[in-house]
Amino acid sequence: MYKLKKIFASDSYIVPLVAIIMGLLVGAIVMLIGGYNPITAYGALIKHDFGSAYNFGEAIREMTPLMLTGLSVAFAFRSGLFNIGADGQVLIGMTAASLIGIKFGSLPSFLLVPLAIIGAGLFGGLWAGVAGFLKAKRGINEVITTIMMNWIALFLSNYLIRTFVLLKGQNRSEDIPASMSMSFLNDLFDNARLHWGTVLALGCAVFFYVYLWKSKQGYEMRAVGFNPHAAEYAGMNVGRNVMKSMFIAGVFAGLAGAGEVLGVFHYQSVFAASPGYGFDGIAVALLGLTHPFGVILAAILYGSLTYGSAGMSFDANVPPELIRIVIGSIIFFIAAQGIVRWVLKPFYFKRKKEKVL
């Protein structure tokens, strides 16, 4: 049994890969039950993602906020925290970027774009830092505070947009000056809404990895995540690490908000309900096993399935909601790894016997 566990540990990438395959199979079974052809449906999904330069660019655009919100949730999780508030942090980042972009629109673009991005990250981090402070100083569970702060962020952002930058007669802000757009490579991808936020997200993943696994501060954060009592006994400041972790997680989510308003829409809507970026980020973090590079791959998968579901609807007449069943099944098998390992067990034993022979 010990040797079998060792084999699974050495091939840990196999488990999520098989979980993805099993999730796709569950989706195929549901399609068959509903009278749809899964081969046609999945073919339409792939064609919609990669069939044209525009769709490929839009698929990348769909992945970008998922990367950053997934990194936000995963970073907090590595420090023993469950950041349910990435959605509110995205909204605060969007609002900060919108207000800075509109109110300081006379500044040159090379100053205004970095200022708006930094402002979005900073305010997203401070918003998350409130939950970190309450956790560190008062012991209040961050799940409760971050959920509550999602609603506060929604109503606060709507109030600020309506009060200061509302476009007359519309339920959205004024347009953000075109000179501060984060868009790039539009001509190459037939005017798809690609933006520099994708590059920023990849940079954040590298920072995540280097900071947590290659620095003293990151070692302390992971130690606090594993066992805060042991970390405190070893002389680490648990409260400071909790606040720092939530702040950095909020920065990632705030940057996702900046990318959406500066690179995609160029204005901010008054939202009737939460846009859902942060909640999708929870799923992405789980799919990526809370590892930064795993989160990037999970965001690519999640974004591809989400954007490609429109192709299933138009070309194969399959309800796009079915893709949520696929995603939910993948997350289920990732969480219930015992089922995946049980499926894999005969194959590992067979491989082991072949090596012996």
pLDDT in tens, 118-167: 999 999 999 999 999 999 999 999 999 999 999 999 999 999 999 999 99
Residue 206 reports pLDDT greater than 60: yes
Longest dimension (CA), the chain: 78
Higher pLDDT, 334 or 170: 170
Share the mean pLDDT of the chain. 88
What pLDDT is attached to residue 311? 83
Q: Please provide the distance, in angstroms rounded to a whole number, between the alpha carbons at the two ends of the chain.
A: 20
Q: What is the rounded distance in angstroms from the CA atom of residue 285 to the CA atom of residue 75?
A: 9
Residue 172's DSSP bridge partners are 269
Q: What is the rounded distance in angstroms from the CA atom of residue 57 to the CA atom of residue 148?
A: 35
Residue 16 CB partners (closer than 8 Å, separation 6+): 287, 289, 294, 334
Q: Cβ distance 269 to 171 under 8 Å? A: yes
268-299 pLDDT, tens digit per residue, is 999 988 888 888 999 899 888 899 999 999 99
Q: Cβ distance 171 to 270 under 8 Å? A: yes
Higher pLDDT, 351 or 201: 201
Q: What is the rounded distance in angstroms from the CA atom of residue 187 to the CA atom of residue 180?
A: 18
Instruction: Give the domain ranges of the chain.
Output: 1-33+327-357, 63-294
Phi and psi torsions of 170, nearest 5°: -125, 160
Q: What is the rounded distance in angstroms from the CA atom of residue 88 to the CA atom of residue 152?
A: 8
Q: What is the rounded distance in angstroms from the CA atom of residue 46 to the CA atom of residue 315?
A: 11
Q: What is the rounded distance in angstroms from the CA atom of residue 268 to the CA atom of residue 278?
A: 17
Measured CA angle at 49 (ends 44, 72), to 5 deg = 130
Q: What is the rounded distance in angstroms from the CA atom of residue 34 to the CA atom of residue 183?
A: 41
6-52 pLDDT, tens digit per residue, is 444 445 677 788 888 888 999 999 989 988 888 998 998 899 888 88
Residue 2 reports pLDDT greater than 90: no
What pLDDT is attached to residue 3? 46
Q: Cβ distance 316 to 36 under 8 Å? A: yes
Band the pLDDT of 349: cuts 50, 70, 90: low
Q: What is the mean pLDDT of residues 241-258?
A: 96
Residue 316's DSSP bridge partners are none
Q: Cβ distance 309 to 42 under 8 Å? A: no
Measured CA angle at 150 (ends 147, 155), to 5 deg = 140
**Residue indicated by tokens 């698929």:** 59
CA distances from 286 to 74, 83, 202 (A): 8, 12, 18
Token digits of residue 71: 């990194």
Q: What is the mean pLDDT of residues 297-302?
A: 93
What pLDDT is attached to residue 340? 76
Token digits of residue 55: 């769709």
Helix locations, 181-291, DSSP H: 197-214, 216-226, 228-233, 238-259, 277-287
What pLDDT is attached to residue 351? 57
Residue 104 reports pLDDT greater than 80: yes
pLDDT over 90, % of the chain: 56
pLDDT over 70, % of the chain: 93
Q: Cβ distance 52 to 236 under 8 Å? A: no
What pLDDT is attached to residue 202? 96
107-124 pLDDT, tens digit per residue, is 888 889 999 999 999 999
